């Protein structure tokens, strides 16, 4: 069965520092990969997605992610974090042949220190 | 409306009662998903509807849970004989062309006393 692992439950960074959130998936087929953000009191919002092509994808709010097939990873990055980036981040995956079911990871809670 | 609409936004019920949660997806979206999010946890897949295809019910935790969708419109998630462990936020999402971007509603927060 398809699964998504976000190994970091909580991450704290200083404002202005760089950020990398890890995401690994398991399954054998071609993945469709997503990152969503859930801010306090707000709904889930798509940051970026990867379907095919260039493995480095750009998203909203200055985020980017890189798909590495050899590592089954899709890590989210931002060069300089802003205090407003404090939120919960979810990686999600769907697979061709998997019926389009979107499976989410357990999330990484980001705290930004001023 | 422009977005995914869910009702009720909050529901408090007594253990053993049945509850019904409603989701009105974005017009024209063929795919509709239900997820459960327990406090401080991730999104747990419940069920997925795509057009007229048979729904993927693989995430429903027990036979107390059921969901229906009429065509490509409103969906209802029903929980029978609620238990305290059913307390969670139930999120609905729709998508125009899966596995594309999911648009989420604000969720229905269920509290079972």
Asked if B1 has any chain A CB less than 8 Å from its own CB, the reply is no
Question: Cα–Cα distances in Å, from B66 out to A1, B9, B75, B90, B99?
Answer: 22, 19, 11, 13, 23
Question: Cα–Cα distances in Å, from B110 out to A22, A65, B55, B75, B107?
Answer: 31, 34, 23, 17, 9
Asked if A100 has any chain B CB less than 8 Å from its own CB, the reply is yes
Peptide bond into B8 cis (omega under 30): yes
> Quick one: pLDDT at residue B94?
93
Asked if A13 has any chain B CB less than 8 Å from its own CB, the reply is no
Q: Residue holding tokens 């054998």?
A: A28
A63 has a pLDDT exceeding 80: yes
> Quick one: pLDDT at residue B101?
86
Q: How confident is the model at residue B1 (pLDDT cuts 50, 70, 90)?
A: low
Q: What average pLDDT does the segment B87-93 reach? A: 97
Peptide bond into B102 cis (omega under 30): no
Interface test with B, best of A100, A104, A106, A108 (most B CBs within 10 A): A100
Measured distance CA(A1)–CA(A10) in Å, rounded: 26
CA–CA min distance B104, chain A (Å): 6
Interface of B with A in 2-21 (CB under 8 A): none
Please tell me which residue of chain B has the smallest CA distance to A96: B99
Asked if A27 has any chain B CB less than 8 Å from its own CB, the reply is no
Please tell me which residue of chain A has the smallest CA distance to B47: A101
Mean pLDDT of chain B: 93
Q: What average pLDDT does the segment B61-71 reach? A: 93
Asked if B25 has any chain A CB less than 8 Å from its own CB, the reply is no
B111 has a pLDDT exceeding 80: yes
Condensed to tens digits (0 to 9), the pLDDT of residues A67-109 reads 999 999 999 999 999 999 999 999 999 876 666 788 899 999 9
Contact assignment for B98 to A103 by CB distance below 8 Å: no
Interface of A with B in 35-74 (CB under 8 A): 36, 43-44, 46, 49
């Amino acid at each position: 069965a398809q699964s998504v692992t976000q190994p970091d439950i909580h991450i704290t960074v200083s404002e202005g520092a760089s950020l990398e959130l890890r995401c690994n998936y398991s399954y054998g087929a071609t993945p469709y990969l997503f990152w969503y953000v859930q801010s306090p009191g707000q709904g889930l919002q798509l940051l970026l997605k990867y379907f095919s092509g260039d493995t480095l994808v750009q998203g909203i709010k200055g985020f980017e992610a890189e798909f590495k097939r050899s590592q089954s990873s899709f890590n989210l990055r931002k060069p300089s974090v802003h205090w407003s980036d404090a939120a919960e981040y979810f990686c999600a995956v769907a697979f061709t042949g998997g019926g389009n079911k979107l499976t989410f990871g357990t999330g990484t809670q980001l705290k930004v220190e001023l | 409306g422009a977005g995914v609409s869910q009702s009720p936004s909050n529901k408090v019920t007594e253990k053993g009662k049945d509850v019904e949660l409603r989701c009105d997806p974005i017009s024209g979206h063929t795919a509709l998903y239900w997820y459960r999010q327990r406090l401080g946890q991730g999104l747990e897949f419940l069920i997925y509807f795509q057009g007229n295809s048979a729904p993927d019910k693989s995430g429903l935790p027990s036979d107390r849970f059921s969901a229906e969708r009429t065509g490509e419109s409103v969906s209802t998630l029903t929980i029978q004989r609620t238990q305290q462990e059913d307390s969670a936020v139930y999120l609905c999402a729709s998508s125009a062309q899966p596995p594309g971007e999911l648009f989420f509603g604000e969720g229905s927060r269920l509290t079972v006393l």
